[in-house]
Amino acid sequence: MIYYWYHRSELSSSLNFLYSSVGISKQGVHQLLSRSVREQEEIRLLLEIIHQIRKDHPRMSCRSLYDKIKPGFMGRDKFETLCKAFGLQVVKASNARRTTDSSGVIRFENLLIDKAITDIDQAWSSDITYYELQGVFYYLTFILDNYSRRILGYYASGRLNTENTTLPAMKRAIRTRGGSLKEGIIFHSDGGGQYYDTSFLELTRKYKFRNSMCEYGWENGKAERVNGIIKNNYLIPWGVNTPESLLKNLDRAVQLYNFDKPHSALKRMTPVEFEKKVIALCVQTKETASKI
């Protein structure tokens, strides 16, 4: 213990000498580090926003992106340099692949390739889209059952972090299923950071999901189509233009989609009607089998 205290004291003296030698205080060093961490977080969120806009505007120029987002902490030239560094300049029409920064990223195998989905709760899919209100971005997260197309969980927030996107949407999806889930449900998404965040992975491990990620946008087509339907068929035509209206009408849109909108892939049934029929057939099959 004395040895540790002595060397810690010696290290502290050496650092104080170093600070004075370069003409900066210890407090100044900590402030510099704090600014650096804050700037990295701002850049991370900015990249997430650019990716979201690229889904709707794949050929929007970097300059137009800058004018649309108006990041107060970054100038236009630096913004364009950032876009080029992360492969976010104008996407060529011949290349449908979306480039993302892979450093420190957790990637899961795409478990849905050549996978036939034949029942509810075999696979869920999720995606995050943005909705712009008076120049401010809000983020909509959806989780749906791949077989019934039912939206199980959703959430709207002005922040893009995990605690305000995938985590509350996933908790709502679990509640929709009554909190009792069979093991091994495939949870499919793109490679967004909200899907490999520690807190989100803790939740998927708790309920024994099998995480799956796509490499190309079309490999998460069901979730992306739901995003477009809710946003373009409901929220935009309804003229949603305030945060309060967004929250209220998002609930309404999901209810109408799940309970009132016939789906061509479900033989013109709504997602909830389709699920009820699947469950009824399952019960009937079990009863028939028990009599044999």
Give the tens place of pLDDT for each residue, 234-268. 999 999 999 999 999 999 999 999 999 999 889 99
Give the tens place of pLDDT for each residue, 66-85. 888 888 778 888 888 888 88
Please identify which residue in the block is written with the tokens 């927030």: 157
Give the tens place of pLDDT for each residue, 47-63. 888 888 877 777 778 88
pLDDT number for residue 145: 97
Domain ranges of the chain: 2-85, 123-284
Q: Rounded distance, CA 76 to CA 65, Å?
A: 10
Q: Is the pLDDT of residue 14 over 70?
A: no
**Global model pTM greater than 0.85:** no
Alpha-carbon distances of 200 from 48, 74, 99, 111, 238, rounded to whole Å = 17, 30, 23, 19, 33
Across the chain, mean pLDDT equals 82
pLDDT number for residue 162: 92
Q: Is the pLDDT of residue 104 over 70?
A: no
Q: Rounded distance, CA 62 to CA 85, Å?
A: 12
Which residues are registered as beta bridge partners of 130? 139
Q: Rounded distance, CA 25 to CA 19, Å?
A: 6
CATH of domain 123-284: 3.30.420.10
